[in-house]
Amino acid sequence: MLGILLALLAALALGSSQILVRKNLDKSNFVYISLTVTIVGNIFLWPLAFCFTDLNNINPEGLLLFVFAGLLAPGMARLFYFKGMETAGVSANSTIFATYPLFTSIIAILLLGEALSAENWIGLVCIVVGVIFIGRYINNDSTRTKRTSRKGIIVPVLGALALASAQIVRKEGINIYNQPLLGTAIGYSTSLMVYLIIIALSMEARPRKYSRKDLQMFWKPGIGIAAGWLLSFLALSQEMVSIVVPILQVELLFILLFAYIFLRKLEKFSLKVVASAFLIIAGVILVSIN
């Protein structure tokens, strides 16, 4: 029961934070947003990790898995997520990202030799159909905004793939070394290194430098996202991944609700996206049935 509650709180924290990011998205870029929320997350997470982790029993293999998981997500997945807000819009982007259990299942089939039940296959079909509907919505000339593009669906799909891979690695890391606080902090530090390298390599090509204004705009969602990642780690330590993952998809419903309430002036809202979201969530639940 505790794991379910933690997963719901994680979904709420993550969903509300994405809305805060979208409100100032036009004033920055996806790399600086990723850097800001990761800096704030490191400040928030590392004191907790030091206070509540037994550092006398370090597991090197577990630490290495946490680093690799952090490289994938938040690392690459976060870049794709915030870029996807630009290319697909917050609602469509979040809906596509919710398909990552589809990729988790595919990876499990290819690498682990797992077999799927009839319910799993029905869920996969639901997810694919939902993504197709979202793709048609994005490519519709009447619904596209000046920031979205016909190829906008590609970015969140890549992000979902990175997130799916990270979930498998992260869960294995927790199984080996059950220190979710430390694992979350290590993932954030790994991501920070990735973003600093990207900014250093592309400094001359950027129209402006990173400034205190970026920190002022995105420190609040940075705390919310860090809290969401921590809560999801804690949920995985309490419950099976097949239970936690579907509950985390409630984040999508929070995003759609908050987007409808707060972002109607920034983005076009479509019932087709809502229907696709429910179809994908149903698919995720079916895919997660063992």
| pLDDT digit string, tens, across residues 31-59 | 999 999 999 999 999 999 999 888 888 99
- The residue written with tokens 């400094």 in the block is 203
Q: What are phi and psi of 277, to 5 degrees?
A: -60, -45
121 or 64: which leads in pLDDT: 64
From residue 65, give the alpha-carbon distance in Å to each of 176, 206, 277: 9, 33, 31
Name the nearest CA neighbour of 95 among 256, 282, 268, 287. 256
Total number of domains constituting the chain: 1
Question: Considering the chain, what is the average pLDDT of its residues?
Answer: 85
Tens digits of residue pLDDT in 155-198: 999 999 999 899 889 888 988 998 988 999 999 999 999 999 99
pTM of the full structure: 0.86
Categorize the per-residue pLDDT at 120 as very low, low, confident or very high, splitting at 50, 70 and 90: confident
Which domain range does residue 275 map to?
2-287
Q: What are the DSSP E strand ranges found in the chain?
A: none
